[in-house]
Structure 1
């Protein structure tokens, strides 16, 4: 195995991939070198690549492997990394952090805003990118961290953050006066994590999914009802909010036809089938916007506390639903990427790659 390597995908064909040997980077003045240790692969990561241009996800880790053209991009992953070298005051080797990582063995960061909770990457190319993705959280001061739950955190934390903020925004607006909340892609991790937060708080929570995933979604116990996409005529005639995590035009059309003016809110949350039709929704949910609001309302410590409490409730439930498949090294990373990209991963399965 080379000293370092990078995995890249073709920006115009996410099923075309390359593994390139790369030299081990060095930390310059004010920089730290991270050794990527453990990452996860979910549909969320494919979404980052699908929206790589429009939402600037390709810009987090630009350049790609040396010698390859601009057609190649590095899809961001979430996971854990260790600081193995540092020339940044306040960041010491041995620190383990959780954050946004490239599909590669190493990452050079420029730590700033360093405190007990971790640091942010102040690299110039990330200055104008959404700040939550630039944070690297120390495991030593993370209320949500438990060493025996690293796999859960890798697979679910970024998704759960979106789910937590989505549920919070809906509740913050008194559920928009709706009597039912409809979540598409109900078997996806982001959807059922949001359903866990929303269930039992007022409106009925209804999951919409493909026929083959109905049984799984019902088994979770976080939906009051689960319907297949071909049974949307079973949705009750009551004020409804649609939380669209699938991006499927026919589902939106069927709901609008079924509910008419009773569809009081149509919110695009994410895409799992690679059809970028968010423009057809009434609005688009972006978790960092609600996060900034709650930091003003609650302060950073208050938001962290509420998130950790919600996370521990969710982690206790999700353990019974999840099958972790662990791979090792870049070839297993490539296999997992293609498996998720092609939609071959069952909803109960999560891919973890040790690098």
Structure 2
């Protein structure tokens, strides 16, 4: 019987990983079998694991059918997969899709709402999980897709979706009356993608980062000012929105003490240093909420158009600022996971795995 594989991490200790063999599943009637081909691994995937229980990310790809017990979790990845078997009209062998995938060789999906742009997975256990993660984009019907940019898509597209919707929410709310937007973890892909969307639209953009990343962050050209964490107390005391992508309690404490009532909004966006910060912040940003609002405001087609236009603007700028490191085969996944989880990946580097 053909063999497949699954990469998993210990839910209670994300530094522990395993790579196990399993059978290639057969797609039942009404299903299709995807072969996972090319994926990215960034701090975003670590966030999925950190928030695996709180945000239900562990539930998308249960470990049990893959020969693993509940000790283990499959951190979702984003990338491309090819249809290798299908019983669903309109989902054909050889088609290539972009979407939310397990770190595994194969995925069985139950396509519904099949059309020129792709389908949604109607697998029963995913029915009440956040719907944006259940959409699979057909490359031939995706305005954001360019074959030469597949690596940028697997590295940046899910992050850029968050960044795009974050920037949109801030603009949609009149910048919350702020004169300054302060972003922590400013060298991270999610932060600087949001900054590219927000630059020149009103408030000053201040990037907070570690001393070793100041020069890189300044070179991006998307912040009006870049400040090391140690100098956070030097930012101007003006009405400020803090977009926290680091989750560092000390930085939040410094800003609250320094800015006082001029800190008009404190929004947790990500967890690049793996400390859950949603409770410490005033609120937690969740991109699908703003996406649903804009899908209602604009219609899904217009939302997709705006996203694609913003995406192509961003990739035109960022292409020369990322060094893609391509790993070969499933064994590259634990290596990339360890590099990202331990913080050893420089901000210029992006891990792509060809499976």
TM range (shorter): over 0.9
Moved over 2 A (4+): 63-68
Distance 2:210 2:41 in 1: 21
Q: Give the SS at the match of 1:319.
A: helix
1:85-133 residue CA offsets vs partner (Å, 9 max, x unmatched) = 0011221111100000001110000001111110011000100100000
Gaps of 5+ in 1: none
Alignment of 1:337 onto 2:329: no
Name the residue aligned to 2:126. Answer: 126
1:65, distance to aligned residue in structure 2 (A): 6.3
Task: Quote how far apart the aligned CAs of 1:277 are.
Answer: 2.0
After TM superposition, the structure 1 = structure 2 runs for residues 180-329 of structure 1, keeping only pairs within 5 Å, are 180-329=180-329
In structure 2, the gaps of 5 or more residues are none
Structure 1 partner of 2:39: 39
CA positional deviation for 1:67: 3.8
Query: What residue in structure 2 maps to residue 173 of structure 1?
Result: 173
Alpha-carbon distance in 1 for matches of 2:216, 2:345: 14
- Contact 1:4–1:21, Cα closer than 8 Å, also in 2: yes
CA distance in structure 2 between the aligned counterparts of 1:164 and 1:64, rounded to whole angstroms: 35
User: Could you say which residue in structure 2 is the equivalent of 1:162?
Assistant: 162
Equivalent pair of 1:243/1:266 in contact (CA under 8 Å)? yes
1:82 counterpart residue number: 82
Kindly tell me: are residues 354 and 64 of structure 1, through their superposed partners in 2, closer, same or farther at Cα, counting changes over 3 Å?
Answer: farther
Check conservation: 2:22, 2:67, Cα contact below 8 A. Answer: no
TM-score by length of 2: 0.98
Q: Distance in 1 between matches of 2:48 and 2:149?
A: 24
- In structure 2, the residue matched to 1:9 is 9
Q: 1:307 to 1:67 in 2, by over 3 A?
A: closer
8 A Cα contact 1:112 1:122, kept in partner: yes
- Partner Cα separation in structure 1 for residue 191 and residue 23 of structure 2: 40
Q: Structure 1 length as normaliser, TM-score?
A: 0.98
Length, aligned pairs only: 354
> Would the aligned equivalents of 1:10 and 1:73 in 2 still touch at CA under 8 Å?
yes
Q: Is the 8 A contact 2:206 2:224 kept in 1?
A: yes
Q: Deviations over 1:265-317 (max 9, x none)?
A: 10011111110021111111110010011111111110011000000000000
Paired residues for 1:141-160 under 5 Å = 141-160=141-160
CA contact (8 A) 1:64 1:73 kept: no
3-state DSSP class of the match of 1:34?
Answer: strand
Alignment RMSD (CA, Å):
0.9
Q: Give me the whole-angstrom Cα distance separating, in 2, the residues matched to 1:85 and 1:67.
A: 22
Aligned match of 1:107: 107
Shift of 1:334: 1.1
Q: How far off its partner does 1:64 sit?
A: 4.4
Work out the CA distance in 1 between the residues paired with 2:207 and 2:253: 17
CA separation in 1, counterparts of 2:255 and 2:95? Answer: 49
- Residues 144-177 of structure 1: per-residue CA shift (max 9 Å, x gap): 1000000000000000000000000000111011
Q: Distance in 2 between matches of 1:17 and 1:124?
A: 28
